[in-house]
Amino acid sequence: MLLNYKQVKQQLRCGGVLLSEAIKELNINPTVYGNTKLLTPTQYSSVKNFIAAKRPVPRARPKNTGTATATSVQLQLPQEQAQSAPPLSVQLSRSDSYYAELRAQNAYRLLKESKDKLNYKESSRITFLDRFTVGFKAEAAFARLFDLPMPSAAPMWSDGRVDFWVNNISVDIKASTFFGADPHLVFDSAENFGSDIACLMQTTDEDMEVFTFNGWICRKDFLAQAATTNFGQGNRLYVSSSNLQPIERLWRFFKENQNETHQNTRVFSASDLR
């Protein structure tokens, strides 16, 4: 019995990103019937084993806590507990996912219509559409956690390296497409870190509905700690997520100061958050 991609994703509970990666890595040539791609039972079994090996080990959660929902986020952790607790996760609502996917489609269409599209090379692991999707969904999760307005779905070529403004502090959301533990916060260059703060997030399920806040860092701290390596696209700067500040600290700072005027407030280092 042949299975189409939709059936495979439903049975394996995986998204298009991981399924595409499995098919490419295993060098599978699916059967094509019209516009539908089908897998044989043998191919399905190989994909199933590949995906099972790729799934991240679930993180243990502290007692009496769980995944925060997109409609209700309550976060009251003491400083010492925030330092030791596992990373916070947010599950998107169906509407948030829908509009994030709409933004991704608009951005992808804009990229294809651009004269500069030849300068953008598709990765062998993830398509630009999936890259846009995970990025915009991560922004939606951040907006829900911090009670911020959702970004516009209108197509926009560049956000100026700033995704959100919170209390006059600029924030850049970086979404990792790495499914394993300890992802990296990566920038092409020092100039590309154009905000006061960068927040690293990671999707923890293949459908890109649940996002983990791996942490955040200020520009000054990032440049002081960053190492250089080649991930396959030239030398880039990175800091491991294990060296990032917990998102609870940033959330608490914003909430405690949300009713104050911060016209001159800038965050240059984590020590500025008292």
Amino acid (one-letter) located at 116: D
Express each pLDDT in 167-201 by its tens digit.
889 999 999 877 667 789 999 999 999 999 999 99
Confidence of residue 143 (pLDDT cuts 50, 70, 90): very high
Express each pLDDT in 47-90 by its tens digit.
888 877 765 544 443 444 444 444 333 333 344 444 456 678 88
Q: How far apart are CA 272 and CA 23, in angstroms?
A: 47
Nearest to 167 by CA among 244, 250, 77, 248: 250
**Contact between 164 and 113 (Cβ < 8 Å):** no
Amino acid (one-letter) located at 146: F
Nearest to 14 by CA among 4, 24, 5, 27: 5
Express each pLDDT in 199-228 by its tens digit.
999 986 777 888 999 999 999 999 999 999
Residue ranges covered by each domain of the chain: 3-54, 68-272
Q: Indicate the pTM of the whole model.
A: 0.65
Largest CA distance in the chain: 65
Sheet arrangement for strand 197-203:
68-69, 89-91, 210-218, 197-203, 169-176, 164-166
Express each pLDDT in 84-108 by its tens digit.
566 788 889 999 999 999 999 988 8
